[in-house]
């Protein structure tokens, strides 16, 4: 215990602390909020409890980055006040001062968030949409004196995603009616006055409350001239594919008032096939040449308050670039780790051949130098049985990333990964359907102490998983149905810590 306490005393070097994923210095965090690019900075706001490491007193924490990798945590941006918590929402850049909040002839930031008033002995729960604004690059904020700007007198009405819809020259909002499995669409010329335009749902997965909607115009891969389609992403809690919270998406058209689904209403498409990616949002106001970037909370409501971390609890997944890819089942979402992560690479390991025993021998003689690393592999899948890699920890612990050729599925198994007993829902083997064309699996594995993210077939499948192995390095050991399953190619890089005293 003394050693553990000593480890926790070193900021951003604590046991289980991710080194290239954002987590606040201390206390609880959940949903990302208000993701926006402005004046050379990516802004990450996030659900935050300033007073402890469990959910409560929800406010907006704040961090900024110039590269999506190195984050500087700033003071709380929007604090709980007068019994009203600050729930999830979005931030926009008001370039033409449509709101009247901007000063000095310059654009300003405007946050649109859900105000949550809990139920008390004298009143019912209430959720409304509200505004706050900043004229100093998001460092200080003023709440609009005439809040709320949208009130349906409902206990569950939350998580507005707001963006500028240029064809109609107005702001658009998508906001959830959680208990009805619907989202509503609103329009506004000034962010203060909103008119209802349309609705969508129920459709797809409807086994729990719909939350955290986002509506993003996404480019279609390889199209020339560039074509786009709209992606409506909706959180589902409970009712996620792997149990607990999860997220689905719909591909279609948006005309500023309504969303048209390209697929049958019964079609359910999942953004992530792991257990631990929720309330992923996209950044507003990115430069026109930059592909959409999505960032999610790396957790699951089944056990979020039980995670064995201190002095923080909760973290974000790696930022992901988005595209749509045309395939046999029409357009599907593609997610790949933001290329900025590559700036952390060092100590390159490379091997190719057909002998798994030889590969594992090379890996043993060239172990990873960091507890955070990237592993890229091309694996043959034409044989029957399973092929993949085990991440080996101390005391016989291991986590498996593999492909089952018989079932045609990619899987991650953390049942033997280390610390799992803090929740009966935590030990799990999760799987994603994946037909591998040409018999060659391309897989990228990002390991960051307590985080494991897997991307297959250049982003066709994403799987996000928390795990808590014993302290120390994780060795890699490949397995296959036979000693020579076919050509294997492996690359590995250590990923150095993104945290430094100058950036905290």
Q: Which residues are designated catalytic?
A: 31
Angle CA 306–210–134, to nearest 5: 80
User: Rounded to 5 degrees, what are φ and ψ at 372?
Assistant: -120, 130
Task: Spell out the residues 6+ positions from residue 167 whose beta carbon is closer than 8 angstroms to its own.
Answer: 255, 256
User: What region, left, alpha or beta, does residue 40 occupy, with left being phi > 0 and alpha being psi -120 to 50 degrees?
Assistant: left
Instruction: Determine the length of the chain.
Output: 504
Strand partners, 441: 379
The continuous run of DSSP H or E covering 358 comes out as helix 356-365
Under 8 Å CB-to-CB from 260, ≥6 apart: which residues? 252, 253, 254
Tokens of 278: 């929720």
Identify how many contiguous H helices and E strands the chain contains and give both numbers.
2, 34
User: Which tokens belong to 51?
Assistant: 């007073």
Q: Which residues of 413-432 are buried (b: 16+ CB within 10 A; e: fewer)?
A: bbebbbebeebeebebebbb
Tell me the C-alpha distance between 282 and 196, whole Å. Answer: 23
24 vs 90, 300, 302, 324, CA distance in Å? 19, 18, 21, 32
For residue 31, give every residue at least 6 positions away whose Cβ sits within 8 Å of its Cβ, in sequence order, or none: 46, 47, 88, 159, 212, 278, 279, 281, 297
Contact indicator for 31, 19 with CB cutoff of 8 Å: no
**Whole-number Å distance between alpha carbons of 469 and 343:** 26
What is the separation, in whole angstroms, between the first and last Cα of the chain?
27
CA distance 467 to 388: 18
CA distance linking residue 4 with residue 503, whole number of Å: 25
């Amino acid at each position: 215990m003394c050693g553990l306490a000593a480890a926790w005393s070193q900021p951003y070097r604590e046991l289980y602390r991710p080194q290239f994923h954002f987590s606040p210095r201390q206390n609880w965090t959940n949903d990302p909020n208000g993701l926006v690019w402005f004046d050379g900075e990516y802004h990450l706001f996030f659900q935050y409890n300033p007073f402890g490491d469990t959910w409560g007193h929800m406010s907006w924490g704040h961090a900024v980055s110039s590269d999506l990798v190195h984050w500087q945590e700033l003071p709380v941006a929007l604090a709980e006040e007068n019994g009203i918590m600050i729930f999830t929402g979005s931030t926009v850049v008001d370039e033409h001062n449509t709101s009247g909040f901007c000063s000095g002839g310059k654009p300003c930031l405007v946050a649109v968030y859900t105000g949550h008033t809990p139920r008390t002995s004298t009143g019912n729960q209430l959720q409304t949409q509200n505004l706050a604004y900043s004229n100093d690059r998001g460092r200080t904020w003023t709440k609009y004196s005439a809040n709320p700007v949208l009130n349906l007198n409902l206990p569950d009405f939350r998580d507005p995603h707001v963006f500028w819809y240029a064809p109609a020259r107005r702001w658009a909002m998508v906001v959830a009616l959680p208990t009805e499995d619907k989202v509503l669409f609103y329009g506004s010329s000034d962010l203060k006055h909103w008119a209802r335009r349309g609705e969508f749902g129920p459709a797809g997965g409807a086994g729990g409350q719909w939350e955290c909607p986002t509506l993003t115009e996404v480019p279609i891969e390889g199209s020339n001239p560039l074509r786009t389609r709209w992606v409506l992403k909706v959180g589902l809690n409970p009712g996620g594919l792997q149990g607990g919270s999860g997220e689905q998406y719909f591909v279609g058209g948006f005309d500023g008032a309504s969303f048209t689904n390209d697929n049958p209403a019964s079609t359910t498409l999942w953004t992530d096939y792991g257990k631990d990616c929720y309330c992923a949002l996209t950044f507003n106001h990115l430069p026109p040449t930059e592909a959409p970037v999505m960032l999610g909370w790396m957790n699951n409501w089944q056990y979020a308050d039980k995670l064995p971390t201190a002095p923080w609890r909760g973290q974000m997944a790696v930022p992901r670039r988005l595209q749509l890819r045309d395939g046999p089942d029409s357009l599907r979402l593609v997610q790949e780790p933001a290329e900025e992560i590559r700036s952390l690479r060092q100590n390159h390991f490379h091997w190719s051949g057909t002998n798994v025993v030889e590969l594992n021998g090379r890996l043993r003689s060239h172990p990873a130098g960091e507890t955070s690393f990237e592993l890229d592999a091309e694996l043959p899948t034409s044989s029957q049985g399973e092929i993949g890699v085990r991440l080996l920890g101390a005391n016989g612990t291991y986590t498996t990333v593999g492909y089952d050729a018989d079932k045609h599925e990619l899987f991650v198994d953390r049942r033997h990964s280390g610390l799992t007993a803090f929740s009966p829902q935590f030990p799990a083997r999760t799987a994603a359907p994946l037909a591998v064309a040409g018999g060659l699996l391309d897989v990228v594995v990002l390991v960051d102490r307590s985080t494991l993210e897997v991307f297959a077939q250049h982003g066709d499948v994403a799987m996000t998983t928390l795990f808590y192995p014993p302290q120390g390095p994780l060795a890699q050991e490949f397995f296959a149905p036979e000693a020579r399953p076919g050509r294997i190619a492996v690359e590995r890089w250590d990923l150095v810590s993104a945290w430094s005293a100058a950036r905290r």
